[in-house]
Amino acid sequence: MNRTEQDIRVVAPAKVNLILKVLDRRPDGYHNIWSLMHTVGLEDELRFRLSPRSTGVRLHCDDAALPTDGRNLVSQAASLVLERAGLPADRAMGLEIRLTKRIPVSAGLAGGSSDAAATIAGLNRLLGLGWSPEEMARVGQAVGSDVPFFFFAPSALVRGRGEEVAPVTFTGERWVVLVHPGFPIETRWAYERLASTRQAVPPLSPTLRGVAGRTSFSWDDVVPLMENDFEEALAQTHRVLREIKEELLSAGAEAALLSGSGATVFGVFRDKASAGRARASVGRASGRRAYAVHTGGASFQREAHSSPASPSLAGRLTRNPPFRYAPLSGQSFDSRRS
């Protein structure tokens, strides 16, 4: 282990599901999914500092509604990293974490999962662990289903419970308008609602089966394919989700869709100007939060996997996780605020 820094800042992006198919229920109680995911430029910020004067993991968050104990995925991820690195959180050292939330909670944007992934990636760097994306993804898999994706982002086909990640590339660029209606949707309820509204699990269409083996896409390819199995089921209860989608389309979106299990609805736009106008108009309604963000992602490189550590986590493309790092030396790290 080679520690070269004592503190670090990591930025963690949200994701959207461009395609989300909910398949059969697994013996472990979870569902298999088939999804095309992409990160977007709405980001949380995490700051980490090693503290030799204390022990344990201490998490501080600017959102008072979020727990800062072991219920938070950031705390879970940090404790798991320290344990697997041979540095039990209750003995080896103190670790202070400050989380600045910008991604809405229970919004279908995987903010908590991205924060957990950023925690694993940040501590991997801070502690000099040298873990590969596959190794970090295996740790993340123990924390949450969406976590592994972020180690192969900005875009990937995701299958299984979320552990089968095949990175893909996108050509072209788009802007996305994210509209949060002002209320959360719990994932468990969304799955229950979906189950109550369909008689059987539809198979993947021939079109999506054809997509499954691809490693590259253009936005023009993907926009006509966008769909989410949760959308209609949840819109029957929350009509505002359908209203937001219609408003985004009327504002010029090429396509609009529910992300994840909600409650965020997003529209895809060709340029920043049209996205900004749509954000201003659709986000005007009381209680809504709207963001116009870019879909640009992390750099990547082609690399052969001659002996992958885990076939389900070994994508055809390996890339640097989409987290930006910066040392905090000389900056304020006020752990008194929470």
Q: What is the pLDDT of residue 94?
A: 86
Tell me, yes or no, if 146 is annotated catalytic. yes
Residues 307, 203, single domain; the answer is no
Residues 44, 59, single domain; the answer is yes
Residues 26, 151, single domain; the answer is yes
Residues 206, 284, single domain; the answer is yes
The active-site residue out of 21, 146, 229, 245 is 146
Domain that holds residue 234: 170-294
Instruction: Count Cα neighbours of 170 within 13 Å in the Cβ-side half-sphere.
Output: 23
Pair 1, 327: CB distance under 8 Å: no
The active-site residue out of 15, 115, 229, 245 is 15
Q: How many CB atoms lie within 10 A of CB 135?
A: 18
Where the chain has pLDDT below 70, the residues are: 1-5, 88-92, 297-338
Q: What share of the chain is helix, strand, coil (3-state, %, to 5)?
A: 30, 30, 40
pLDDT tens string 50-62: 887 778 899 999 9
Residue 338 within a domain? no
As a whole number of angstroms, the distance between CA 134 and CA 139 comes to: 9
pLDDT tens string 284-325: 999 999 999 999 754 222 222 222 333 334 333 335 566 666
Residues 40, 161, single domain; the answer is yes
- The runs of H, that is alpha helices, within 165-283 are 187-197, 206-211, 219-222, 230-237, 239-250, 272-282
Q: What is the pLDDT of residue 324?
A: 64
Pair 261, 185: CB distance under 8 Å: yes
As a whole number of angstroms, the distance between CA 144 and CA 213 comes to: 25
Residues 145, 31, single domain; the answer is yes
* 3-state SS assignment for residue 90: coil
Q: What is the pLDDT of residue 25?
A: 92
As a whole number of angstroms, the distance between CA 190 and CA 107 comes to: 12
Residues 142, 239, single domain; the answer is no
Q: What is the pLDDT of residue 299?
A: 29
Q: What is the pTM of this model?
A: 0.87
As a whole number of angstroms, the distance between CA 213 and CA 7 comes to: 41
pLDDT tens string 270-285: 999 999 999 999 999 9
* 3-state SS assignment for residue 273: helix
Residues 152, 276, single domain; the answer is no
Tell me, yes or no, if 271 is annotated catalytic. no
Q: How many domains does the chain have?
A: 2
Residue 131 within a domain? yes
Pair 241, 234: CB distance under 8 Å: yes
